[in-house]
A and B are shown apart, each in its own frame.
Chain A
Amino acid sequence: MEQIFDHALLRQRRERAFRAAVKDADFLAAHVAADMAERLSLVERRFENPVQLHGVTPVTADLMEATGKTARFRFVADGMLDGLGGREQIVADPELSGLQDGSSDLIVSPLSLHLVNDTPGLMIQARRALRPDGLFLAAVPGAGTLGELRQSLLEAESHLTGGAHSRVHPFADVRDYGSLMQRAGFALPVADREDIVVRYDDIFALMRDLRAMGMTNAMAARSRTPAPRLLFDLAGEIYADRFSDPDGRIRATFAIIHLSGWMPHESQQKPLKPGSAKMRLADALKTDDVERGE
């Protein structure tokens, strides 16, 4: 399996972010967690064995528990999480769920699937860890996320050096995730996208925030030489030129893809077999059959 993301580096970045503990740096995680909890609150069910899979903070589980739809969460993460308040945790590799088949009825994955080298593999593990009629909910940054930053950096770098490095992670689009969910064997898979636009004073404020979230570049094939300040100065100018509001502040898009799918169960709706219709389409449409010649 090709290693796209450097997990050791990701952990370092995250630990650095936690040590710095910049106030409100978790605004994106909190916003997405609130969205996920709202989606869960619409499900007419209570979940007794919920698991949060590889989130950086327990905020998603906290908000979901607050809806009254779940029992206390368990956590799977690649490092020790803070703020669990005595809830159980398992430390596992980011590529693994670490869970036994059929051990859970709700698995939520907040902003972590995009950092996995084998996304379909982890989705399949999550499905198998669910009981029949169990629910999988995920939120993941998709194509378009930090598109403004990517474009500004690419252009600045190719202007300065005649070439460019990948400095912003690749993100899959909503259709890719939808078909991955289907391939992983989830029933009734749904994928939709919600753009969150954040405004900053300049490119440096954006970069500071990404660092505070532990979300800076962790690709295995990243450039190993530090980027010169000049690159960011120029990228900042391009950014401000193209993607700013009339008041001079710049826009950064986070295109969050929400995924949901169920472990297959008999009680779920399925399409009927072809030819099994008991009613004529013409009756349903309240029209007459029309004979059509060539």
Chain B
Amino acid sequence: MDSVRKEHPDTKLLELLVCPLTYAPLTYDAEKGELISEKARLAFPVRDGIPIMLVSEARQLEDKAPGSAG
């Protein structure tokens, strides 16, 4: 019922965030609605416009450098 809630987080909010593991900046994948930490190879979900910066909730990225995943 909260009409102000938007699906995508504000770009200004995204600029504030860092990866909780590497402290590196993140990039936003608008299609999947995920915040990508390249260094940690993790994708953090965004739910109801709220970035969930918990490693336990993140998805492991596996699409880069086959063989070196792990």
Chain A interface (Cβ < 8 Å from any Cβ of B): 74, 78, 80, 85-86, 88-93, 96, 98-100, 103-104
Contact = CB atoms under 8 A, between A and B. Distances in A.
Nearest to A89: B50
B20 A90 contact: no
B33 interface: no
Nearest to B48: A80
A100 B25 CA distance: 8
Interface string B29-43: 000000000000000
B17 A90 contact: yes
List 4 A-B pairs, minimum CB-CB distance, nearest first: A86-B4, A91-B52, A92-B53, A103-B16
A93 B16 contact: no
Contacts, number: 52
Contacts of B10: 88
B61 interface: no
- The A interface is mostly helix, strand or loop, or mixed, namely loop
B13 to A, nearest CB: 5
A92 B20 contact: yes
Nearest to B5: A86
Interface residues of B, number: 21
Interface of B: 2-5, 9-10, 13, 15-18, 20, 25, 49-55, 57
Nearest to A104: B16
A88 B9 contact: yes
Contacts of B55: 93
A91 B51 contact: yes
Nearest to A76: B53
A99 B18 contact: yes
Contact of A93 (B2, B13, B20): B20
B17 A98 contact: yes
Contacts of A80: 50
Contacts of B15: 100, 103
5 contacts: A86-B3, A89-B50, A90-B50, A92-B20, A92-B54
Given A74-B13, A96-B20, A98-B20, A90 B51 contact: yes
A99 B55 CA distance: 15
Contacts of B3: 86
